[in-house]
Structure 1
Amino acid sequence: MKTLDEAAFAAAERYMELHARLVDRLRFAHEFLGAPGELVRNAVAAYQNLDGGFGHALEPDLRGSGGQPQGVEIALWMVDGIAGAEEPMLLRACDWLEAHSTEDGGVPWVLPSVLDDERGPWWQPQGEKPPAALNPTAPIAGLLHASGVDHAWLGPATEFCWRAIGEVEEVGAYDALCILHFLERVPDRERAEAQFERLRASLRGAAALDPDAPGHVHSPVDLAPAPDAMGRRLFSDDEIDLHLDRVVEGQGGDGGWAPNFEMWTPVVAHEWGGYLTLARLRTLKAYGRIGR
């Protein structure tokens, strides 16, 4: 079993100091150095527009200032465990979600307004009135449930997720992440467990079990970033241990972890690098793989 030793952790900390965005440096300091979460909350709030949406490249591949659903998801991940149920920033985000939802109750993958922005080439809306999608409605709803938020958007969005998940037979990698994020946080545990069992084989199949699989793939530890994650039940101990070893081995010479997807403009390499490096460190910490 491989662990991240003291020198390797110091190299990762130096990578964060040299290359990561302020918001991710503060998240690192909160996670590993005991810095107050309020600093993270304040940094995330700087990306929120007056209408409640999140833009300004909080999601690095969406460079525009205007809000997008994916910006809300990233914001919620960043303040998960920090912002409480009455946090005004979250309630304003819910107002924005409600204003940009479809009749089905969910939000689209990306809004047509993205066409006015610099962005990664894959960010293309599905027509002038795009449909609601599990990605990112499901993780947004799950994270809001976890924080205890009570807002008019959340009920219809939750029902949209239940309907959409109920219609799924084969799960792609991104939808697998979204479904798991929803199922492990939604209050109706009996219904969540039933859907998890129904989709178990397909959810497992969405992960690349081969640690040498090329391209933009998701590994078992992406679906199971902590031992208590619902996705952990999809994989054996040996499979998780193998992929955790590869996470340790995957640290770059600069101390960080590099994304396995296209870097379409230079600035996003380190913006994503800081975000991903923190995610890898949190996973290694959760599994007891940091030896310091």
Structure 2
Amino acid sequence: MDVLDRAETYLQLHGRLIDRLRFAALFRGGSRERVLDVLRCYQNTDGGFGHALEPDLRGAGSQPEPVEIAFWILDELAAFDSPMVLAACDYLSGITTGDGGVPFVLPSVRDDPRGPWWQTDDDPPGNLVPTASLAGLLHKHAISHPWLATATGFCWSRIAAVQETSPYEARAIVTFLNLVPDREWAEAEFARLREAILATVALDPDTPGEAHFPLDFAPEPLRLPLFTQGVLDAHLDALVAAQSTDGGWSPNFPIWTPLVKHEWSGYLTVHQLKTLRAYGRLPG
């Protein structure tokens, strides 16, 4: 079987419904609307998303990070015309802090089972994770909503203060700078931060543990000159080789309860196939 057939078998055996339907829509000519139907089940009446759309947040209540996952799914389906988007923006407006960003996680997370790293203060500040990625995707799709101007101002201000960064923050910065319309400003900040961003990247494909690789920053070709083609080719080769014998790709971050391994693996399997296709690495 080829890479797609093996991945399809893995998803049939282990994947969530939404990830099986994502695969079908993206690679088998399946229905985009069916994916959207399932995604709506993760959206709450406040416009936010919960219900373990982000597998490490097991609660039903809305949190900022599941909105980012929803936006990436809507992006891959070219479905930013869905009413889910503006409803989510209304939710983001309601949780935006005085500095103009949304927090990494809200204190309500304490009421629910969750990965042990989901911790927060009582009054958390805005964070580039996930504000920058959310704003970048809204800009990509030219969405008009008052929250976007507020969030964009927050991102420019917070990015201007960055000297050193961490992998998840760096990935959010790259997403924002890659997608924001003001290219002159984006390219100037990228030039200033390029070395700091690269300092968070594992350039050796064999780096063990919770490493962040070039393709995590560039799951499709970027406008920004972050990696050489040689670096990308080496990591694409490694990505192909990393498909397991049962057809999936597994996370390299901690698994704190057994169910999330397959939930994350299903999500990541579709994600890795998208990356291989974006770089012309899928058969046919």
For residues 3-60 of structure 1, the C-alpha deviation after alignment (integer angstroms, 9 at most, x for no partner) is xxx5333111111111111111111111111223222222111100011110000000
2:75 to 80, 83, 86: 80
Q: Is the 8 A contact 1:53 1:72 kept in 2?
A: yes
TM-align CA RMSD: 1.3
Matches of 2:80 and 2:264 in 1, distance apart? Answer: 28
Extract unaligned runs of 5+ from structure 2. none
- What residue number does 2:207 align with? 213
TM-score under structure 1 normalisation? 0.94
- What residue number does 2:196 align with? 202
1:24 to 19, 24, 37: 19
Matches of 1:41 and 1:143 in 2, distance apart? Answer: 17
1:119 to 114, 119, 124: 114
Q: Is the 8 A contact 1:49 1:66 kept in 2?
A: yes
For residues 270-292 of structure 1, the C-alpha deviation after alignment (integer angstroms, 9 at most, x for no partner) is 10001111111111111111124
Query: Which has the larger displacement, 65-74 or 16-25?
Result: 16-25
Matches of 1:266 and 1:285 in 2, distance apart? Answer: 30
Structure 1 residues 86 and 257, CA gap change in structure 2 (3 angstroms): closer
- What residue number does 1:287 align with? 279
Matches of 1:238 and 1:81 in 2, distance apart? Answer: 26
1:152 to 139, 146, 149: 146
- What residue number does 1:253 align with? 245
Question: Aligned to 1:248, what secondary structure does the other structure show?
Answer: helix
- What residue number does 1:173 align with? 167
- The list of structure 1 runs, each at least 4 consecutive aligned residues, that deviate by more than 2 angstroms after superposition, is 6-9, 81-87
Q: 1:260 offset after TM fit, Å?
A: 0.2
Q: 1:85 offset after TM fit, Å?
A: 5.2
Q: Give the letter for the 2:183 counterpart.
A: R
Q: Is the 8 A contact 2:131 2:155 kept in 1?
A: yes
1:188 to 179, 182, 192: 182
Are 1:270 and 2:262 an aligned pair?
yes
Structure 1 residues 75 and 85, CA gap change in structure 2 (3 angstroms): closer
Q: Is the 8 A contact 1:41 1:83 kept in 2?
A: no
Q: Give the letter for the 1:256 counterpart.
A: G
Q: 1:163 offset after TM fit, Å?
A: 0.3
Matches of 2:80 and 2:227 in 1, distance apart? Answer: 33
Q: Give the letter for the 2:49 counterpart.
A: F
Q: Is the 8 A contact 2:3 2:282 kept in 1?
A: no
Q: 1:86 offset after TM fit, Å?
A: 4.5
Q: 1:202 offset after TM fit, Å?
A: 1.4
Q: 1:82 offset after TM fit, Å?
A: 3.3
1:242 to 219, 234, 241: 234
For residues 150-185 of structure 1, the C-alpha deviation after alignment (integer angstroms, 9 at most, x for no partner) is 111111111000000000011211111100111111
Q: 1:81 offset after TM fit, Å?
A: 4.7
Structure 1 residues 197 and 269, CA gap change in structure 2 (3 angstroms): same
Q: Give the letter for the 1:253 counterpart.
A: T
- What residue number does 1:66 align with? 61
Identity among equivalent positions (%) equals: 55
What is the number of equivalent residue pairs in this alignment? 284
TM-score under structure 2 normalisation? 0.96
